Amino acid sequence: MGRPLSTAIAFLLIFLSPMEGGGASSSPFPQTDQALRESVGARTLMQEPYHSHEVHCSRERSRAAWEIIEEYLTPFVEKEQYQISSKCRLHPDNDMFREQEQHKIHADVNHWKCGFCKKSFHAEKYLDQHFDNRHSNLLNDSHSRCLADLCGALHCDNIMASKIPKTKCNPAAAAKNRHLCESLADNCFPINGGVSSSRLHDLFLHQFCDSHTCTGGRKPFSRGGRKKINVYYIAICILIVMFLPLFYLFVYLNQRQMKGIQDLKRISKTSHKKKPT
């Protein structure tokens, strides 16, 4: 019995020896597991380039800030023939969305087109989403390139369609926005930068900064801005120019007709007088 027992033990050790090796796998399908891991890793690498780049800057508020700059500041800067430094945060180069906004084609009321790939959309918001998904590589979101950060100083809520409900004035918030506003005036239009720069500095304070207060009731944009051309006014002027000659023609023909009637009456009276009695 001793020999069969030793043979059985030897056979058992031979059967268990692959499980004791440190480099051997405990799975009955080692090649299948490895192929699965490699497949999952390949899919992960393929998906990574399609992840959208997250931008912590409001496109809508940046657009509102740019509209304010264009309407209530740029006309005065152009009048002074002043060149804003690229270090100024109000400079067009410091708006991360500027290139994309310049490549918007508004073909019709409900027809927007991407200037990069010519794809069409029914509304501007869908074009914005397209820029975020397909052309985010064109954004330079480096430091101080988010115009939305200046909305507190530039009163963006005053012109945005979705206005924030009016609340009680917060002195701390007003002081913070005023400080930001004054720092923009100092950096963009330094007092010692010349006559034009000094005048624009005072205008910026008057146009934007003085209204950051909880007393006095001062309103922003008191100096006005770029004069907008009213489409309806232009249409009315065109109609007047078109119909005015017709009106004069009608008056002329009417007077001529009346004069003809009067002449006929005069001739008729004269003929009656010449008849023998």
pLDDT score of 268 more than 90: no
- Within 10 angstroms of residue 76's Cβ, the number of other Cβ atoms is 19
Q: Is the pLDDT of residue 72 over 50?
A: yes
| pTM for the full predicted model | 0.63
pLDDT band at 35; cut points 50, 70, 90? very low
For residue 254, the model assigns a pLDDT of: 79
Burial zone of 160 (CB within 10 Å; 0-12 exposed, 13-18 middle, 19+ buried): middle
* C-alpha span between 277 and 270 (Å, rounded): 15
Helix axes 195-204, 171-188, angle to 10 degrees: 170
**Which of 8-22, 205-219, 240-254 comes out lowest in average pLDDT?**
8-22
- Residue 2, pLDDT > 60, answer no
**Other residues' Cβ atoms within 10 Å of the Cβ of residue 88:** 14
pLDDT tens, residue by residue, 111-130: 999 999 999 999 999 999 99
pLDDT exceeds 70 at position 76: yes
Is-contact 80 196, C-beta < 8 A? Answer: yes
> Given its phi and psi angles, is residue 148 left (phi above 0), alpha (psi -120 to 50 degrees) or beta?
alpha
Q: Is pLDDT above 50 for 36? A: no
Residues 6+ apart with CB under 8 A from 197: 82, 189, 190, 191
Q: Which of 19-23, 147-151, 167-171, 221-225 has the highest mean pLDDT?
A: 147-151
* SS3 readout for the chain: CHHHHHHHHHHHHHHHHHHHCCCCCCCCCHHHHHHHHHHHHHHHHHHHHHCCCCCCCCHHHHHHHHHHHHHHCHHHHHHHCCCCCCCCCCCHHHCCCHHHHHCEEEEECCEEEECCCCCEECCHHHHHHHHHHHCHHHCCCCCCCCHHHHHHHHCHHHCCCCCCCCCCCCHHHHHHHHHHHHHHHHHHCCHHHCHHHHHHHHHHHHHHHCCCCCCCCCCCCCCCCCCCCCHHHHHHHHHHHHHHHHHHHHHHHHHHHHHHHHHHHHHHHHHHHCCCC
Highest mean pLDDT pick, 29-38, 61-70, 140-149: 61-70
In this predicted model, which residue has the larger pLDDT, 54 or 222?
Answer: 222
- The encoded tokens of residue 73 equal 């500041």
